[in-house]
Amino acid sequence: MNTRILSILFTAALFISFSSFSQPRKVKWDRLGSRLVDYRADFDVMQVGAKEGGFTKLKVMVTGGALNMHRMVVTYMNGTKEEIQLRNSFARGTTSRVIDIKGGQRLIKNIKFVYDTKNLARKKAKIHVYGRH
C-alpha cells in the first residue's frame, strides 16, 4: 500500500515539474518612444538613447492615422547607421514585421523615419517603436 501511494505522489510530482517546461514564454517588448508624424516634412527623427539599453529586434506600430513608410535609418551610439527598408502602408493600428538588428545587441541613438508626405487621412499618424533585448 505504501509503495502505491509513493508511486502516485512521484508521478504527480513529475507531471507538475514537466508541465512548467511546456508553458510558452511571453516575449517582452519595451517601448522606445513615439513620434507624431509631421506631414509638412517627409521624415521624422525619434531620439532613443543609451539609457534604454541594447536591443536585438525592433517593431514599429502606427496609430491614429494611416502612413506610407518607405524606410527607417537606425543610428547606433557608436555612430554607425543601418538603413532598414519597410515599404509598408500602415493602416491605423497595424505593426511592422519583427526587424532583426545587425550585429547583435546594440545601443540606439536615434531612428529616422522616411515616409510619404501625401496623406488623405484626417488624423495624424503616430509612430511607436518597440525593442526587444
DSSP annotation string for 9-53: HHHHHHHHHHHTTSSPPPPP-EEEEEEE--TTSSEEEEE--GGG-
> At residue 115, does pLDDT exceed 60?
yes
As to burial, measured by CB atoms within 10 angstroms (0-12 exposed, 13-18 middle, 19+ buried), residue 78 is exposed
Instruction: Output b/e per residue, 10-21; b: 16+ Cβ within 10 A.
Output: eeeeeeeeeeee
Q: Are 14 and 94 in contact (CB under 8 A)?
A: no
User: pLDDT (tens digit, 9 = 90+) per residue, 33-44?
Assistant: 998 887 766 888
The domains of the chain are located at 29-132
pTM over 0.75: no
Q: Are 108 and 52 in contact (CB under 8 A)?
A: yes
User: pLDDT (tens digit, 9 = 90+) per residue, 64-92?
Assistant: 888 888 999 999 999 999 999 987 788 88
pLDDT of residue 105: 85
Domain 29-132, second-level architecture? Sandwich (2.60)
Q: Which three cell numbers stand for residue 48?
A: 532613443
Grid-cell match 538613447, residue found: 49
Cα gap 82→84, rounded to integer Å: 6
pLDDT of residue 53: 73
